[in-house]
Structure 1
Amino acid sequence: MKKATLIKTIPLANTTEGVITISHIQEPYGEGSKPVVSVGISLDGDEKNPTWKAHIPYENVDDVIEALKEAKEKFGK
Structure 2
Amino acid sequence: MLEPAITMLSTSIDKFKSIDSDESRVKISELQKQYELAMQKRKEMDDRFDQSITELTNQQTQLVDGLLRKLAG
Normalising by the residue count of structure 2, what TM-score does the alignment of the two structures yield?
0.31
Normalising by the residue count of structure 1, what TM-score does the alignment of the two structures yield?
0.30
Select the structure that is richer in helix.
2
Q: Highest Rg: 1 or 2?
A: 2
Specify which structure has the bigger relative contact order, considering alpha-carbon pairs within 8 angstroms and separated by 6 or more residues: 2
